[in-house]
A and B are shown apart, each in its own frame.
Chain A
């Protein structure tokens, strides 16, 4: 099973709302990633978790708060977002960090901030 699942598929939220995006994998991977992708652009790395510990935060605003409750789950908590945060949010996982392990992507959550 090489599947990464993400919920919800679509999310519309106001700037004062709090919501969470969820990502799950059951491949035994120990590295998980959050990316942000704007239309017709490549994904931009936001966070990297390795062994449930945050190892990279690419200077992402604090209104995005990642959480890795266990090795299979990755959450992204959203609060007080701006309209420019509207994008496709992709989760990915790999056996381990390091280039020799390819990343498997989920289908993404399409987020619209109104």
Chain B
């Protein structure tokens, strides 16, 4: 069974600094997708970034980038120039990509990030 582990329940960072959130996963599959979702206190879950397992290049979205290490099954999120609006719960998620996968997202337990002024 696939599992996703986020080992940092809470983290904090000063505004404008850089922070890295960790995520590891376990799967025997070779074709899958990884996501980071953000859920601010207002509660709407927002997709931050996604990574296709077959791509070696790390995904980037503005201030957000990932370090995808397929062999190590590691998928960390780096937030540069942290802003107060980045304060949220961050969930790492995994899904397989084959016909019968149904798009089931397997979530980690989340990391609560606080950005301090």
Most A-side CB within 10 Å, residue of B102, B110, B112? B102
Report whether B102 and A102 are in contact in the complex, using a CB–CB cutoff of 8 Å: no
Cα A99 to Cα B52 in complex, Å, equals: 9
Q: CA–CA, A107 to B99, complex, Å?
A: 29
Cα–Cα, bound, A76→B98 (Å): 28
A43 near B: Cβ within 8 Å? Answer: yes
Range for the number of chain B residues in contact with chain A = 20 to 34
CB <8 Å contact, A42 and B108: yes
- A residues 1-46 in Cβ contact with B at 8 Å: 31, 33, 40-43, 45
Binding site for B on A (CB under 8 A): 31, 33, 40-43, 45, 48, 50, 55-56, 88, 90, 92, 94, 96-108
Contacts of A96 in B (CB 8 A): 103
B68 in contact (CB, < 8 A):
no
- Return chain A residues, CB-CB under 8 Å to B112: 40
B78 near A: Cβ within 8 Å?
A: no
List the one stretch of B11-19, B43-51, B69-77, B80-88 in contact with chain A: B43-51
Contact across chains for A41 and B109 when beta carbons are under 8 A apart: yes
* Complex contact A108–B97 (CB within 8 A): no
